[in-house]
Structure 1
């Protein structure tokens, strides 16, 4: 039997609002590719061509987006949930399509882990279930793990500081044998981390853990999304020096005319981007058809498709969604601006999320 894989992509992405009001979280752009594209590519690199994507929220947009960028010989089946089934519950719903070892991962977390390496470990151990692990500085929002002889001996979901015993966390990617599916009840929401894993450990079943190779990042908040763009541009970009550019960049615009601008990596620049004189683009992602005026500063930010930034405006640590126009002499810091927004000249926007279509010129 050929190895199959599952991508869980049904969440609402509430921490990324208002970004996820218009696009599902798995489609947020990261270095020119939707977030879900990295795990699909990881599966493909491991020789997995048959993938089932479980979805619910904005499933029409998700399906359209995935079909645009998937590999030609990758077979994608979509399972649309009428009601949220939980991470394990969503996999239980598709159990009739699974007849051999399979891989499960999350489509709304940045992950380009070495899947083939994890599968090899799983098989070498003779495991029924293997959990991919990674380390983070702040484990309070994740499931922390203690290992002994490659086996999980302790697992705690989202510990408070006094409970923390490890910085090794569950990366949300698992290799599972099909017999595990019988432990997932039907008709009720059921979660891998909160429900299934504690149940299996209490039964005395071994859950193996493997410290996976590759980049992993929770993209739950706008600043995480910005960081994700920087990480993947740094990994997959090209080092440059000269002609007003320095650092690692990915530039999709052919024959770019940025000679009078300064670009510092890691920076991603999409197709048909125009940048005016004396503008500075630093550690940012600029997507397709964006127009940037003269003397503009963009730092640690994301500009999505067809944005227009007028002269002398400054954008720092912010996400500007599609088709938004920023007037001249504006300042935007640590904010999210929704699609098709019009910001009048000399506006000041700090630490807020704006979603109205037209804003007055005195926003502070």
Structure 2
């Protein structure tokens, strides 16, 4: 018998389109790592080396990405769902592999929690279910809870204006004992909407634990940018250079002496011209930046080329794009493999390289 982790990674990430047309949401990079890696590393740091990943959408890419990113001694099984099974249903499908406490988390949310303290709390309470909670400024997009003496007394999903009784929300990490799975009697089945209310009706106490660490729902492009900034600030270093300010993660060996770098992630094998400014951004591997380029609060993914005198702010440029000289990209998403002519002006839009329907994904 051994404690296992379950990573739910089957969603399509519709709010992140067009980014998720080409990459599963759990693999979208944040400060140099796939989003799901932060969760899996948190499990690993808590001593959990066995994980089961439930997946469906773009499962081949997801499997390859997780195998590449996992620790060498981390054991991962994959459960591929041909049809969506729901959050709880996906765990029910793998119940034959569960013989002890499991810790369940969503692979498309940025977590960097102390998982061991959560498990210790769960064991101390002799709980059947513990839900990890976090506080947010705006609870309208989440499931909120009432908490009394560490026990959850009620739930409300996505409260409308005036309905919110709390700013404490379900963070999407659950510690669960195997006997709870018997209450999942159909597929699909949802944790928050079906299983937890059913347990409360049966008198099973559901404990709540306020998580200690980073939590961010990376549901929209600006959330990815924010997540990058949070993790760079958490894991970056201060460099002894007058032109490199704030905390940064810098992998490249390129000469940055003619450029200004501030609070950013800088990948490998870059070509960076003179007088380029990078602030609060992530620049990934193989990117080419021309002279006098200004990139702020943005993400530039692998192998893209940004030509001279171009300004990019609050935007995501995906892999293998070319942005011509003297262009301006503001609050936009540029899909992979797009070639924009010089002097382009792109504001508040998502540009896709082709039309992709739900039937094709």
Please classify the TM superposition score into its range, dividing by the shorter chain length.
over 0.9
TM-score in terms of structure 1 length: 0.96
**Residue 353 of structure 2 is aligned to residue 356 of structure 1:** yes
Cα distance in 1 for partners of 2:112, 2:190 equals 23
Cα distance in 1 for partners of 2:270, 2:314 equals 20
Cα distance in 2 for partners of 1:138, 1:126 equals 32
Cα distance in 2 for partners of 1:270, 1:296 equals 17
In structure 2, the residue matched to 1:345 is 342
In structure 2, the residue matched to 1:297 is 294
Structure 2 residue runs without a partner (length 5+): 355-361
**Residue 180 of structure 2 is aligned to residue 183 of structure 1:** no
Cα distance in 2 for partners of 1:123, 1:209 equals 13
| Structure 2 residue matching 1:146: 3-state secondary structure | strand
Contact 1:241 1:247 in 2 (8 A): no
Structure 1 residue runs without a partner (length 5+): 358-364
Cα distance in 2 for partners of 1:47, 1:36 equals 17
Higher mean alpha-carbon deviation, 200-209 vs 169-178, is at 200-209
In structure 2, the residue matched to 1:152 is 152
In structure 1, the residue matched to 2:241 is 242
Shift of 1:333: 0.5
Note the 1:215-364 alignment, pairs <5 A: 215-254=214-253, 256-265=254-263, 267-356=264-353
Shift of 1:214: 0.7
Shift of 1:356: 2.5
**Residue 5 of structure 2 is aligned to residue 5 of structure 1:** yes
Deviations 1:89-139 (Å, cap 9, x if unpaired)? 000000010011110000000001111000000000010000001111111
Contact 1:86 1:191 in 2 (8 A): yes
Moved over 6 A (4+): none
Contact 2:332 2:349 in 1 (8 A): yes
Cα distance in 2 for partners of 1:88, 1:54 equals 11
Shift of 1:299: 0.4
Cα distance in 2 for partners of 1:231, 1:273 equals 23
In structure 2, the residue matched to 1:40 is 40
Deviations 1:227-265 (Å, cap 9, x if unpaired)? 0111111101102352411000001113x3011111111
Contact 1:314 1:331 in 2 (8 A): yes
Cα distance in 2 for partners of 1:203, 1:334 equals 48
**Residue 78 of structure 2 is aligned to residue 74 of structure 1:** no
TM-score in terms of structure 2 length: 0.97
Shift of 1:286: 0.3
In structure 2, the residue matched to 1:202 is 201
Cα distance in 1 for partners of 2:270, 2:229 equals 18
Higher mean alpha-carbon deviation, 273-282 vs 204-213, is at 273-282
In structure 2, the residue matched to 1:360 is none
| Structure 1 residue matching 2:256: 3-state secondary structure | coil
Shift of 1:200: 1.1
| Structure 1 residue matching 2:197: 3-state secondary structure | helix
Note the 1:84-99 alignment, pairs <5 A: 84-99=84-99
Cα distance in 1 for partners of 2:201, 2:141 equals 23
Contact 1:28 1:35 in 2 (8 A): yes
Shift of 1:315: 0.3
Note the 1:78-157 alignment, pairs <5 A: 78-157=78-157
Cα distance in 2 for partners of 1:61, 1:124 equals 39
Cα distance in 2 for partners of 1:286, 1:176 equals 39
| Structure 1 residue matching 2:353: 3-state secondary structure | coil
**Residue 63 of structure 2 is aligned to residue 63 of structure 1:** yes
